Every structure is written in C-alpha cells, then in structure tokens.
Amino acid sequence: MIDVVNLCKDYTLKRKEPGLKGAFKGLVNPGIEKIHAVADLSFHIDAGEIVGFIGPNGAGKSTTIKMMSGILTPSSGSVLINGADITKHRKEVVRNIGVVFGQRTQLNWDLRLGESFELLKHIYQIDQKDYDRTIDELDSILGIKEIINQPVRQMSLGQRVKGDLVASMLHSPKVLFLDEPTIGLDVSSKYALRKFIKEINKLRQTTVILTTHDLGDIQELCERLIIINHGVMMEDGNLSEIVDRIAPYKTLVVEFYDEKAPEANFCEMIEHSGNIAKYKFMKKDTTAADIIADLSKRQTIKDVSIEEAGIDDIIKIAYGH
Ligand SMILES: Nc1ncnc2c1ncn2[C@@H]1O[C@H](COP(=O)(O)OP(=O)(O)OP(=O)(O)O)[C@@H](O)[C@H]1O
Ligand SMILES: [Mg+2]
C-alpha cells in the first residue's frame, strides 16, 4: 500500500548572527545551514495496518508525513501509494489519502463544520448517498452531528479534531495519516479518537499511520512500530518483538515473611529493602516459576509480582534518554 524509498528532506536555513550587526551582515552575506530532517528512510506498509510512527521532538516525523501525503516534495527518494508515485501523480494519489494534523486544522475557520464538509463533498465529487452514509457512520463513533452547525472558530480543541477526522474520511481514503491527533485532548476525547481509528480500520480496512507522543495510543492501537531519530530509522517491527529485543528481561518482585532474601539461580538481585527483594532475569535463561521454586526452597514466600519492561522503557532506550 505504501512504499517509502530512500526518502530524504533537507531544509535550508539562513543562519543569522545575533544582534543588529548580525542582522545587517546576514542581509549581505547570509550563512546557509542545511538540516537533514529526513535522511534515507525506507519502509513498506501493507494495506490494513495501523503503524505507530514515533520518535523524539525534531526526529523528522511530521516532515515524513508531509512527504507521504503530498504536502512537501522530497529532496530525493520517493513515496509510492498503491504503486503510484505521489510527486508524479499527485492529483490521483491524493484521492486515496486523508491527513489530519492535531496541531493545525484543515477546516475553514469562517465556515460552519457542515459547510466545510459540503465544500469537500463538491471538491471530491462525493455521491450524496455515500456522503450521508459516511456522515452517519462517523457520527455513530464520534458524535459529530451535534456540532455540525457550529462555526469551526467557536469549537473546542476536541470538537475541532473530531471535525478534522470526519473531513479527512469523507472521500473514503484508503490511507489515513494522523500526525499527533490526540495532542491536548482530554481522556474521553482520546478514547473516542482511538475508537474511531480502530473502527475505520476494521470497517473500511483503512491503513493508518499514526504519530503520537502518547504511549497509550501506541499500546491501544499499533501492532507495528517505526521509530525514527535524526531522520533515520531506529526500529521497524512488531511492538512486542521490539520490546523483547530491546528489553529481553523481566523483574520478579518477591515479598518474604522475614528480611532475609536469598539469592537464586539464573537471576540477579537488584534491590532489597525490608521483606521485599527484586530479581532481574533474562527471559531466555529462566522463568519466574523456576526462580520462585528455587527461592521457596530457601525462604518462605508471602507474595510475588512480575514487572515487565513496558513501551516507556523501550522509548527511553530507543530515544537514547
Ligand atoms: N519548514 C522548516 N524549515 C526548516 N527546518 C524545519 C522545517 N520544518 C521542520 N524543520 C526541522 O526539521 C527537523 C524535523 O522536524 P519535524 O517537524 O519533522 O520533527 P517531528 O519529528 O515532527 O517533531 P515533533 O515531535 O516535535 O513534532 C527539525 O530539526 C526541525 O527544526
Ligand atoms: Mg511533528
């Protein structure tokens, strides 16, 4: 469905020295600085996938999304949607694409939401029946009809994002790019948005590429993760496989009846305080059950729990924090 091939984007910045003198100097002889925002990115996404596209601030996510959705032209490399190059066949390809930026609306501030929808209906020449069906379907997920007569300017952030989501789906695109759609949303709006993504993926087999800094979004929605940093690929794979590879360990927390905590085979005691000790072990070496069996031969155990590395640990390691 989507092929990104050796994609690069450089931005040129005019460097200016500080102060008035620097400003004059910059006018005469501007120093040019090149930023390699995206550097040789390649990946393939199949139809019907929901892919989490993540990375720290400034990693190049939005730049990549803009190139994938035809808003920015790549410096080199290409993006193919269903085999068609987006820069060469922009008009046709864009019909298969929807895009939402959580930080910026694509709707007209001066129109009522419904008027914006009508406008898009004409632009994309959407059949009235299809239009009505789509609105009904999306209304059942997002509750859009109650705000359809409201001017976009007067909407709350959550209402505006809902409006943007519906607008992006009116022409039934096969691919939906969502760049930080949950930013600034309250818990229930976030929940509605996640439900929306799941439903359109299930009902319409829409392929979704999602950028977010909210790990809950990823955990809830994405089986696959692409992690980039400094414009280059860091990780691409199944979420649980990435977790297993980057953090191939678990921690067993054991509460004993007294303060003596014994050692056990194939694990390392990493913490011991009062009656509680923590044992870190590699998943390939042993199991929690074996360690518990081993420990209980030496001491009476009162309680146990297991701490697994979560996505936040992965992010910390992959982002280099
Ligand atoms: N129009 C532009 N002109 C010059 N530099 C830009 C422009 N847009 C982005 N950049 C730079 O390119 C790099 C990548 O920016 P981008 O917006 O793609 O990052 P991002 O991964 O989306 O970050 P965030 O998580 O903060 O949204 C950054 O160093 C940014 O400063
Ligand atoms: Mg961004």
Query: Domain 248-319 adopts which CATH fold?
Result: Alpha-Beta Plaits (3.30.70)
Range scoring the smallest mean pLDDT among 13-27, 183-197, 298-312 = 13-27
pTM of the model: 0.85
Mean pLDDT, the chain, rounded, equals 91
Residue nearest to atom 18 of ligand 1 (CA): 60
SS3 for 11-59 is EEEEECCCHHHHHHHHHHCCEEEEEEEEEEEEEEECCCCEEEEECCCCC
Ligand 1: does its nearest atom lie under 6 Å from the Cβ of 55? yes
For residue 57, the CA-to-ligand 2 centroid distance in Å is 7
Residue nearest to atom 27 of ligand 1 (CA): 57
Q: DSSP H helical segments within 95-156, as ranges?
A: 113-123, 128-142
* Confidence at residue 87, expressed as pLDDT on a 0 to 100 scale: 94
Check residue 172 and give left, alpha or beta (phi > 0: left; psi -120 to 50: alpha). left
* Confidence at residue 33, expressed as pLDDT on a 0 to 100 scale: 82
Ligand 1: does its nearest atom lie under 6 Å from the Cβ of 60? yes
For residue 251, the CA-to-ligand 2 centroid distance in Å is 34
Residue nearest to atom 24 of ligand 1 (CA): 57
Q: Residue 38 CA: which ligand 1 atom is closest?
A: 14
* Confidence at residue 215, expressed as pLDDT on a 0 to 100 scale: 84
**DSSP reduced 3-state for 97:** strand
Q: Are strands 2-15 and 31-45 parallel, antiparallel or unpaired?
A: antiparallel
For residue 58, the CA-to-ligand 2 centroid distance in Å is 7
Residue nearest to atom 2 of ligand 1 (CA): 11
For residue 62, the CA-to-ligand 2 centroid distance in Å is 4
Ligand 1: does its nearest atom lie under 6 Å from the Cβ of 63? yes
Q: How far apart are CA 98 and CA 48, in angstroms?
A: 14
Q: Express each pLDDT in 78-125 by its tens digit.
A: 999 999 999 999 988 999 999 999 989 989 999 999 999 999 999 999
* Confidence at residue 20, expressed as pLDDT on a 0 to 100 scale: 75
* Confidence at residue 321, expressed as pLDDT on a 0 to 100 scale: 63
**Per-domain boundaries in the chain:** 44-243, 248-319
Q: Are strands 249-256 and 301-308 parallel, antiparallel or unpaired?
A: antiparallel
Q: Express each pLDDT in 202-244 by its tens digit.
A: 999 999 999 998 888 998 999 999 999 999 999 999 988 888 8
Of the listed ligands, the closest to the CA of 231 is 1
Ligand 1: does its nearest atom lie under 6 Å from the Cβ of 61? yes
Strand ranges for 155-285 from DSSP E:
175-179, 207-211, 224-229, 232-238, 249-256, 268-273, 276-282
* Confidence at residue 248, expressed as pLDDT on a 0 to 100 scale: 87
Ligand 1: does its nearest atom lie under 6 Å from the Cβ of 62? yes
Q: Which CATH architecture has domain 44-243?
A: 3-Layer(aba) Sandwich (3.40)
Residue nearest to atom 29 of ligand 1 (CA): 58
Is the pLDDT confidence value at 74 over 70?
yes
* Confidence at residue 314, expressed as pLDDT on a 0 to 100 scale: 77
Ligand 1 pocket mutation, candidates 8, 57, 62, criterion most atoms within 8 A of CB: 62
* Confidence at residue 32, expressed as pLDDT on a 0 to 100 scale: 78
Residue nearest to atom 16 of ligand 1 (CA): 60
Q: What is the mean predicted confidence (pLDDT) over 279-295?
A: 94
* Confidence at residue 163, expressed as pLDDT on a 0 to 100 scale: 94
Residue nearest to atom 9 of ligand 1 (CA): 63
